Every structure is written in structure tokens, then in C-alpha cells.
Structure 1
């Protein structure tokens, strides 16, 4: 009897192995859902959709984007975590998905180990952007005005406690200024409406998110929190050039549910890497102020963990100083 059970068990394991290999070889046989945890119209939405339209050509099935907003990206990412691990539900993580939500700890069931990170595809520094008619011609003008009128200049950030909130808190500390920070949850789209309607004087976001408005002459960048100038907007100085020691920005990481088969993940990774390196994407992305910055599945998890630790330490320092509350 024991011998029979061993043989049966081995046969079952072998058949499951063949089934897994067959599944990976045939994948995909239907459309793939890509969850974007921010509203339509923002930078993340545009980049992920563009990559998907290129990647799906080789995959042979459509990759359809679904915007699921809320919870500083947690609502959409939780759906990825809970999805069937078969490669037909993927998600796009941003800074808040990797840093803000885990650090705040408001959702005990939100754990990044419920995901299998596939690749980082882009990175982009944050920036300070003003209306085209703004009297602030440089970051020095903005700092001087803030010192003359503490707490009066309105800066539109995204969610309270988000990366952009942290960036502006650090900016205030480094420049000894005080601004009126106004939160616009839901990504860059509400910020665009706020600055175009003169609800705010300034926004903190990425130039990639506002590339169309910059190109159209509606807004302009004052400074980018980087140490290298943006090749798309080379006239915008870096924070380092302006004597402000602040480098911060976002990124996009593709992910699948944790138990998604490795062969399936490898197939998705290969197709997205080819899409990222394609002439079509490279030409498109060069016009939107975002830097392709590939990091594959063999490195991206360690990078995410290191990024988390570094930023958690920075935020805890602000808590200890009484600047923010956790």
C-alpha cells in the first residue's frame, strides 16, 4: 500500500509539473488585466498604458488597463494581492505602494510579500512647478516670497503622508520656509486642475506628470529634485545646482500575485523589457520627461527592500523631530 501511495504521489507531482510547464508555454490564452492604482490621466497611467500596448503585440493577447483609485494606491494593489496567481492580473506599483502605505501600517493585511515583483520600468524625480504667469522665475524667488509671507503660498501636493508631502516637508526644513500644503488625492490629474484654476500657486509633482502642460506653455518647472538635468526639460535646474540637498522621486514597478508561476513571470518580464527597449517607447518617453530605468526580477525585490528601509529611516527622523506624525 505504501509503495502504491509513493508511486501515486510521484505520478501526481510529475503530472502537476507537466501541467505547470504546459500552462506557462501556452500563456497567455486570454486578455491580461493591468491594475493601475491611480486615476486616468496621470503620468503612471500614461506610461503603463503605453508599455502595455507595445508588450501585448508579442504576447498575443490584449493587456487592458483598469484604474482603481483609493487608499494612496492600496485599494488597487490589494486587488492584485488577492487575485488568482495565474498571470492574468498584474499591477503597477508606485512610491506610495512600496513606501507610504507599508510605513503608515493602516492596513495590516497589506504586505509586499503577497506580491512577486517583476521589474522596475521607470524612475523620475519630483519637481516644483508653477503657472506660466507666476511671478516666481526661480526657486530663489519662491523661497524669498515664502520667507516674506510664511504659510501663505499654496502648494498642491498629492495625498497627505505621501512622497510629495514628505518632499515638501524636507524642502521646508532645508530652506527654512513655511508653505500652505494642500492635498489633492488621486494622483496628478487633480493637481493639474488646481493649478490651472488658480486654486494653488505651485504644485509639487514630477515634470513627467505635467509634460503636456509644460510643452503647451501652461506651466513651467522651477527645480527638479535630482542631481542630473532632465534631458526632456534641460532648462530646469536641479536642486543640487540650487544648493538644496534633496533628491526624491517616484518609480513604477510591475508586480503579480505572490504565487504566480516563475515561468509566467519570466514571460511577462521578457515582453515588457522588449517593450521598454523598443524604438516606439523610447521615442515616446523621451518627450514626456520620464527616464526608463529597468531593473529585472532578479534585482528589483532587493532594491525595493533597500528603498523602503532608507525612506522609513528618513520618515522616522521627521517623526522624532516632531515634523510629522505616524
Structure 2
């Protein structure tokens, strides 16, 4: 948008008749001041939501649902674009390079906050280039077994792994991910050894491996496996948490077995760094309205995901604390 479009015909006529340098400077200054005022109107077009995972996973479904509700508080639409690759870095690098005007936002998950920063895996990637403005979920990891595995409980799974080390096949995301750290921490806590098989991408690949019999169990959130859990093709045997998940009362927390192990996933929403504060406020407000709606609360609970809101003033501190705790656990296991 140029200054010409922001000035009236009368103003431009006055500008054309000005002959002194000082008067011309004053008019040009007025034109320059007018630009950010007009550009402060947000949004001016549809908002692009980058989900850095392939379509079909839990993060994708939640991001689409809450965005569909958030756009009801905006004059334009919010559309989701899946850009997977490089453990979320491909999509988030595009987010970081987008114009910081609020028209491009994205999703941060465990890998965005822990895996990439921990290993310095992608040159140029940094959370400093992003501006988190909300956390919408915080859910525990869980162990889910396939129906054909023959395991009906957490105790049976651990007993089999103890009796025959390296034979029980557990699917997780690649090394450095939350589920990978979870399975290694579980091995250390129980003294067993699993045959750990990693699957890049979303939990959809692990669900398919469970259905085909390629693996006996997998670690991710119960929400990620809601489809095969509801169909009866898989069974949740334990949640890596210290408290009971009310959405899945039949799945015990691991604290019931005397083990302190809490790991999980989350969804944080972010914009490019240097996005204006009033734009961040508008986005945060729209997504908070969506989060607090009965429709979202009922839906997210129905798929076994725990809602957990933090606003822009809290989410940065939470991320820093989460990183510190997780990096300490990794140091203990030399990961």
C-alpha cells in the first residue's frame, strides 16, 4: 500500500501546490504517518496456518479444528497448509521468513521446541525468530499395543520385554523426539530392553505399523491413536503421567506402578518475530475464544487430548522451563 492510496484528492492537490521545502516535508511526513495507521487493520486477508507435519496426525487435526473456530472471530478465513520435513524445521523456517504481519502463523510441537534446538540440527533455525502467543494442548505420551500383539496390559508388556530382551517391538518417532526419549527413560526405569523402531513423520505411520503387525506397541499420545483405539484394533495400556486421564479412565497412569515418568506433547501457536503487539493480541484473542468454546472443549476431550491454555504472557516462560527439564533428562541418559 502506497502513501497515495492513503491521502484524499484534496490532500494531493495541496501537495501539488506546495512550493516551499518545509511545507513539502510536512506534507510528506503526514503521508508517511498515515501508512502504519491503515496497515494496523488486521487481518486484511486470509491467515495462513503452517502445520509442520503431514496431514492426518494429531497436531494437524487439532490445528485445523481450533483454526476453524478461531476464524469465526475474524473477518477473514484461516487456512491450514501442511509443510512437513526436517523434524518440523522446513515449515517453521518458512514461518520465520514470512512477513511479520500476522497473516502467516504456525504450530510448534515438541520437536520444534526440544529436538531441533538440542541438536542444532538445522542451520538457521532458532526459536528467537518466532513469537509464541498461545499453548492450546498439553497431553501425556502413552503406550498403545496392537490387538494382535497378544499383550493386554502394561505389566504383560514389561514382563515380556524382561524375559526376552530386545524382542518386544516398540515404534517411536526418531531419535531426539519426545517418544524416543520416553522409551529410553522407561527402559532405564524398569531395567528392560525393547526393540525400538523409529518412524519419521506423524504418528500415522506408527498406527499403520500397529495395524499391519510390524510392531507390537507404539508411544505417542492417546489422541494420536484415537482412531484405532475406538475401533478396537489397539489398546492403551499405560499413560506416561502422574495423574489419571479422565477421557480414558481404562488407561492407568504409570505412577500407579511406582514409576515417576511424565512425558508428552503439546501444541503452541506462533507468529514470526517482530509481529506487532496489537496483531498478536488479535490472534491470541481469536484463538482463546475458540479454545474456550464448548465445541472445542468437547471435541478435544473426546479424542483423548488434554486442553491446556497459556497466553502470550506465559508461554515463553513455560517453554524455557520445559526445555530445561527435558535437556536435564537427556543429559542423564547421554542422549
What TM-score do you get using the length of structure 1 for normalisation? 0.92
Q: Does 1:194 align with 2:209?
A: yes
CA 1:266 to 1:10, structure 2 compared with 1: closer, same or farther past 3 Å? farther
Match of 1:264 in 2: 279
Match of 2:80 in 1: 65
Select 1:217's aligned residue among 232, 236, 243.
Answer: 232
Aligned residues: 314
Kindly state the Cα deviation for residue 10 of structure 1 after the two structures are TM-superposed.
12
Alignment deviations for residues 240-287 of structure 1 (CA, whole Å, 9 cap, x no partner) = 012221001010000000011111111000000000001111121121
Contact 2:238 2:251 in 1 (8 A): yes
Match of 1:145 in 2: 160
CA distance in 2, matches of 1:73, 1:200: 25
Q: Does 1:301 align with 2:316?
A: yes
The aligned runs of 1:161-172 (5 Å cut-off) are 161-172=176-187
Match of 1:283 in 2: 298
Kindly state the Cα deviation for residue 23 of structure 1 after the two structures are TM-superposed.
2.5
Match of 2:139 in 1: 124
CA distance in 1, matches of 2:157, 2:191: 12
Select 1:178's aligned residue among 178, 186, 193.
Answer: 193
What TM-score do you get using the length of structure 2 for normalisation? 0.89
Match of 1:41 in 2: 56
Q: Does 1:207 align with 2:222?
A: yes
CA 1:236 to 1:106, structure 2 compared with 1: closer, same or farther past 3 Å? same
Instruction: Report the more deviating stretch, 212-221 or 34-43.
Output: 212-221
Alignment deviations for residues 131-170 of structure 1 (CA, whole Å, 9 cap, x no partner) = 1243222211111100111111110101222111000000
CA distance in 2, matches of 1:225, 1:11: 62
Match of 1:110 in 2: 125
Which sections of structure 2, spanning at least 5 residues, go unmatched? Answer: 1-20
Contact 1:39 1:189 in 2 (8 A): no
Which sections of structure 1, spanning at least 5 residues, go unmatched? Answer: none
Q: Does 1:313 align with 2:331?
A: no
CA distance in 2, matches of 1:277, 1:263: 21
CA 1:9 to 1:90, structure 2 compared with 1: closer, same or farther past 3 Å? farther
Contact 2:98 2:272 in 1 (8 A): yes
Whichever structure has more helix as a proportion of its residues is 2
Select 2:38's aligned residue among 14, 22, 33.
Answer: 22
Structure showing greater Rg:
2
Could you say what secondary structure the match of 1:181 adopts?
A: strand
Contact 2:149 2:213 in 1 (8 A): no
Greater than 3 Å deviation, 4+ residue runs:
7-12, 14-22
Could you say what secondary structure the match of 2:149 adopts?
A: coil
Select 2:71's aligned residue among 38, 56, 59.
Answer: 56
Kindly state the Cα deviation for residue 20 of structure 1 after the two structures are TM-superposed.
3.4
Could you say what secondary structure the match of 1:240 adopts?
A: helix
Kindly state the Cα deviation for residue 15 of structure 1 after the two structures are TM-superposed.
6.4
